[in-house]
């Protein structure tokens, strides 16, 4: 299923961004889905809900989908038109030399985080920096400490 692959891809990206920014929990992700992409939003939402049960960072994370209209550009008359209404033939000049400008994509538009989840991070940030220093000083000889060790 196509949607499942997209959900995995997006979840991975959101999770790594959250870790990078020391965010413990993501409240909502807003996705842009192109009108002529083969993604079915309701399938995508089902896959997302399942995926969120597997991740601490994404637990109960909402998914909002925004549809992006499909637009085609005509190389001959240099006009753009709605892909869904007119397909591959330019409605202005009848040319077939057209290509899709937008409408086939899926992209993360926005990642929403609660303020309280950010504040908690001050500690997490200090902790992970401390762990990094230990690892460098000991040149990797010492096993990386458990997260629970730091105070
Ligand atoms: Zn044209």
Q: Are residues 79 and 141 in the same domain?
A: no
Q: Are residues 67 and 92 in the same domain?
A: yes
The rounded Å distance from CA 39 to ligand 1 centre is: 28
Q: Are residues 55 and 91 in the same domain?
A: yes
Q: Are residues 86 and 131 in the same domain?
A: no
CA 147 to chain centre: 27
Does the annotation list 74 as a binding residue? yes
Task: Provide the residues around ligand 1 (an ion) whose CB is within 5 A.
Answer: 74, 76-77, 90, 92-93, 95
The rounded Å distance from CA 67 to ligand 1 centre is: 25
Does the annotation list 90 as a binding residue? yes
Domain count, the chain: 2
| Sequential pLDDT tens for the chain (151 residues) | 589 999 999 999 999 999 999 999 999 999 999 999 988 989 999 999 999 999 999 999 999 999 999 999 999 999 999 999 999 999 999 999 999 999 998 999 999 998 665 544 444 444 444 334 333 333 333 444 444 443 4
Does the annotation list 77 as a binding residue? yes
Does the annotation list 118 as a binding residue? no
**95 in Cβ contact with 77 (< 8 Å):** yes
In the chain, % helix, strand, coil (3-state, to 5) comes to 40, 25, 35
Q: Are residues 115 and 142 in the same domain?
A: no
């Amino acid at each position: 299923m196509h949607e499942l692959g997209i959900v995995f891809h997006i979840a991975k990206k959101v999770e790594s961004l959250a870790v990078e920014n020391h965010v413990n929990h993501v409240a909502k992700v807003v996705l842009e889905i192109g009108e002529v992409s083969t993604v079915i939003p309701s399938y995508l939402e089902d896959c997302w809900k399942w995926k969120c049960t597997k991740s601490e960072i994404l637990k109960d994370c909402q998914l909002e989908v925004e549809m992006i209209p499909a637009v085609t550009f005509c190389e001959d008359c240099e006009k753009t038109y709605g892909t869904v209404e007119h397909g591959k033939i330019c409605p202005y000049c009848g040319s077939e030399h057209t290509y899709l400008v937008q409408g086939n994509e899926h992209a993360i538009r926005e990642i929403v985080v609660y303020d309280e989840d950010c504040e908690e991070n001050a500690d997490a940030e200090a902790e992970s920096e401390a762990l990094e220093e230990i690892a460098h000083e000991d040149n990797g000889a010492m096993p990386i400490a458990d997260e629970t060790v730091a105070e």
